[in-house]
Amino acid sequence: MLRILDARTGESVAATPARRGLTRVEARAPGPDLTSLRVLLTADLLARALELNGLQAWPTAPGQAPELRTAADALAVRPFEEAHGPGLAEAGVVRVTAGEVDPAAAEGPVVAVAPVVWAGEPGAPLSDLLTDPTALRLALLSVPHGETVTLDEAALSRAAERLAGWRRDVAGWARRPSRPVPEAVRERLTEAWEDDLDMPGVLEALVQAAADPAVADGARFETFAYADRLLALELTRDLGTLG
């Protein structure tokens, strides 16, 4: 069961009600800055994780700035509807926001997202940071959503190099006979994302699978492809490019 740290109470709670139904994931991200982009990204991850668990999610984000929506599209954050109020057959709502949370201001759990600090060239607009949007997505995923992220050109370069290496490995593994995702690996991945969307834990589970000699290349490929349903890092992008 997916559990999140409710910023209103400081307690770990189930992200969805006990009964099945539509869960609205409401992102409060007026934008257009990196912190608001991280809010949308976290809400997107929450919706993806719910869907991987067989549940229905309805992502909404009232008042999105056009520049923020453009940046979110580049980061493979799926569209959010401009919804206000409850939806049809809505079983619950989870709000994702940045900054201080008023315990009396919302019903349902609240996921608090820490700020993103840009330590690179001063005054760089959001659009200037999207030359490699997938690397930016990975850089943001590499830090727990409740901790401040400090980014600069070097951090984005390191993320791009890591992505290039993984894509090269995945393309190579794809040439081997397919094997199912090992159950122990699947459990590590699931336990990580169900623990308050622990994306660094998901990434570490991939590192372990890639290095484990007991995991066949075909199983490594399927593991990375499976995890990418959540991560959306285009890990299989380079299939068929190796000579």
Place of tokens 């622990």: 198
Residue range 3-159, CATH number: 3.90.1640
Six token digits for residue 146: 């409740």
Instruction: Give CATH 3.90.1640 domain extents, the chain.
Output: 3-159
Residue 173: C-alpha distances to residues 137, 216, 217 (Å): 24, 9, 5
Digits of tens for pLDDT over the chain (243 positions)?
899 999 988 999 998 876 667 888 999 987 789 999 999 999 999 999 999 988 889 899 988 888 899 999 999 999 998 765 555 566 788 999 997 777 666 678 999 999 999 987 776 667 777 889 999 999 999 999 999 999 999 999 999 999 999 999 999 999 999 999 999 999 999 999 999 999 999 999 999 999 999 999 999 999 999 999 999 999 999 887 765
Q: What is the pTM of this model?
A: 0.93
Contact between 26 and 82 (Cβ < 8 Å): no
Phi first, then psi: give them for residue 217, nearest 5 degrees.
-60, -40
CATH 1.10.150.120 assigned to 161-231: no
Instruction: Give CATH 1.20.120.640 domain extents, the chain.
Output: 161-231
Q: How far apart are CA 116 and CA 108, in angstroms?
A: 25
Nearest CA to 45 out of 76, 22, 67, 20 is that of: 76
